[in-house]
Amino acid sequence: AQSVAQPEDQVNVAEGNPLTVKCTYSVSGNPYLFWYVQYPNRGLQFLLKYITGDNLVKGSYGFEAEFNKSQTSFHLKKPSALVSDSALYFCAVRDRDNYGQNFVFGPGTRLSVLP
């Protein structure tokens, strides 16, 4: 069975500092991995994905994530946080080798960027 863990409910970071939001996953096959962001009273917006190839993927708004197969992790990063990055972030996984499986979302991490 697929699962996603986001070990931190909340991450606080000062504006201008680098940020990391952690995600680990479990799938029986190879993963497709995704990050989404949710602003208050809005739907989820796609940030970036790992399908295959380069382990470092770049996405919207200056975010990037690194796929680490040995650690089964896909942490979201940004070199310099903005107050406007404050939101709820979800990691999601899908098993590439099991076509019938759907996306599984993590519980979310609330990011607060302090001015």
Partner 1 sequence: NAGVTQTPKFRILKIGQSMTLQCTQDMNHNYMYWYRQDPGMGLKLIYYSVGAGITDKGEVPNGYNVSRSTTEDFPLRLELAAPSQTSVYFCASSYPTLEQYFGPGTRLTVT
Alpha-carbon gap, residue 26 to 11, rounded angstroms: 23
Residue 32's alpha-carbon distances to 39, 65, 68, 78, 114, in angstroms, are 24, 13, 12, 21, 32
* In the complex, minimum distance from the CB of residue 32 to partner 1, in angstroms, rounded to a whole number: 6
Judged by CB under 8 A, which of 29, 30, 46, 61 binds partner 1? 46
Applying CB under 8 A, which part among 16-24, 41-49, 61-69, 71-79 lies near partner 1? Answer: 41-49
With CB under 8 A as the contact rule, which of the stretches 15-23, 36-44, 62-70, 78-86 interacts with partner 1? 36-44
Residue ranges in 16-111 assigned as alpha helix (H): none
Q: Which residues bind partner 1 (CB under 8 A)?
A: 32, 34, 36, 41-46, 49, 51, 90, 94, 96, 99, 102-103, 105-108
